[in-house]
Chain A
């Protein structure tokens, strides 16, 4: 009987969850529309104006030719060729760029400023991701375990008997602060220095990358007018890998807290998140034993 009641409650919670999700999405859609629509309209008008001005200045050009030219540029852009500058700028698919691309595939960031255009490349990409994504997750898992081991070592330094909860919270807060500084606050400064973005843009890039959303509107090391030091992209890749492990931990913590807050204490059978949850659970085990 109790099982039935529990089941009834669970279904209810699922419904609430779905409704909350939908509501959240609708809210987001509304706000984004509100914020972006005006800017978009402005941008569109400006572009049309620019086109007209261009036509006026260069009278030998007719409208059709210009439209055709726009089409050519867009096609080139979608294929990943940067139409600015001349042919001397390096190929998009040289080795270091391919490496960066492979990294964005397996981490599921997927900036999309580069994407395979040949059929062979696309097919390979599918199978590459099929095996690469689990491998990457396993790797991040291992890294997360390493980070947690550090957390425990840190706890030993701070530990005083009889103040387990305080220590636990303190260690967590310290861990979060250090991670935030190292992975979220400092990198935008470097990016703003090297790429010439504002700090806000750098921070936006940092977050969009580490959350693996990866819109691809800002990508490091793609400006053809800049000379980057050779280590720059490799350093960025290392930062991404460690930052991903850290942010996965934080998101997991957030999901856990949200579940606790909603008092949804069901058992998780194997799902994608459980693997990540494991690394959270491991350090919890010793903490429970603290009083003894």
Chain B
């Protein structure tokens, strides 16, 4: 018990530089991103603000009976109505957004944590329900995604095995199948759907790709959302197909992102074995050999795995080993 606690404490001390490095990288990355967005979007935003102001003044000039405060109040009303999801253009006969299909899409966007926000609950009771709905829905969604990802992985592995048996060269088959799976996933989930969106929604390919990525990564700005243009009529299979695409695409992207994380973490702690074992030994020494029986298997595995340079580490291993003995 003591050893375990000590290990955790020692672990914190040992990992601190790594954490600090990660923190610095994180903050640096954020700063870089904010500078880039600032540079890219600042002028455009400034321009559209100017445009709006000009339009407003033009309107005030053209219709002289209008007064400033009245206009402001109208604007406030428009925005409030827009926020609660009312389609404002045209007349009131248009269907509301909270019909069944819309609510379903909202539920999907809530528990997948995409959260487009083009629709959001406005009444108190709906907000409270939304909290509890998400509280239980998000773990459920995680489990399902986990499951789908597993099925995909096992499918790929089975394919690789079968192919390896046919080719009599397991490694090549594995690499081939994995590349194939990656390319197929890329095509199926990221590169082909934008074509569908550009046909049905009338976006450019680039906009469709942007929408696909923002959706599957669960960022979900809500600046582009499918099936929301009141001027278009959508085929009935469209939204269902997109829902299925979101589910499988998210599982796939989670797999890919996870791969990235494993690569990132693997590169950061290559010599974890050597460090960990020596840490344990050090802790045993600090505990004053109370309950420590030397554990040769640990040291063996340490020295055998730690064949790579890292001289000081193995020295430290050997030293502590002799001291414990």
A residues engaging B (CB < 8 A)? 14, 17-18, 20-21, 24-26, 28-33, 35-37, 39-41, 43-48, 50, 54, 57-61, 65, 67, 69-74, 76-81, 83-87, 91-95, 98-106, 108-112, 115-126, 128-139, 141-142, 145-146, 149, 152-153, 155-156, 159, 200-201, 203-204, 207-208, 211-217, 251-252, 254-255, 258-259, 264, 266, 268-275, 283, 285-286, 289-290, 292
Contact = CB atoms under 8 A, between A and B. Distances in A.
Given A40-B97, A134-B264, A129 B37 contact: no
B58 to A, nearest CB: 10
A270 B134 contact: no
A273 B146 contact: yes
A197 B111 CA distance: 25
A95 to B, nearest CB: 6
Contacts of A18: 144
Interface residues of B, number: 137
A43 B104 contact: no
Given A76-B48, A99-B30, A212-B218, A44 B92 contact: yes
Interface of B: 1, 4-5, 7-9, 11-12, 15, 18-19, 22-23, 25-26, 29-31, 33-38, 40-42, 44-46, 48-53, 55-56, 59, 62-66, 70, 72, 74-86, 88-89, 91-92, 96-100, 102-104, 106-111, 113-117, 120-131, 133-147, 149-151, 153-154, 206-207, 209-210, 213-214, 217-223, 254-255, 257-262, 264-265
B254 A122 contact: no
A70 B12 CA distance: 57
- Majority secondary structure, B binding face: helix
A126 B89 contact: no
Nearest to A156: B5
B37 A204 contact: no
B88 to A, nearest CB: 6
B104 A25 contact: yes
- Majority secondary structure, A binding face: helix
A44 B86 contact: yes
A217 B127 CA distance: 11
A137 to B, nearest CB: 6
Indicate the member of A14, A21, A28, A102 with the most B CB atoms within 10 Å.
Answer: A28
Contacts of B36: 124, 128
B15 A213 contact: no
Contacts of B40: 116, 118, 120-121, 124
A76 B15 CA distance: 48
Contacts of B220: 108, 110, 112, 214
A138 B35 CA distance: 23
Given A71-B89, A99-B31, A110 B115 contact: yes
Indicate the member of A18, A128, A255, A271 with the most B CB atoms within 10 Å.
Answer: A271
B12 A29 contact: no
Given A32-B107, A32-B121, A83-B75, A21 B144 contact: yes
A278 B107 CA distance: 29
B30 A106 contact: yes
Contacts of B88: 47, 70, 74
B258 A274 contact: yes
Contacts of A122: 206-207, 210
Nearest to B4: A286
Indicate the member of B98, B129, B210 with the most A CB atoms within 10 Å.
Answer: B98
Given A79-B48, A159-B1, A215-B117, 14 more contacts: A37-B96, A61-B66, A65-B63, A91-B49, A99-B30, A116-B40, A126-B209, A128-B36, A132-B33, A135-B25, A214-B220, A216-B120, A271-B153, A275-B262
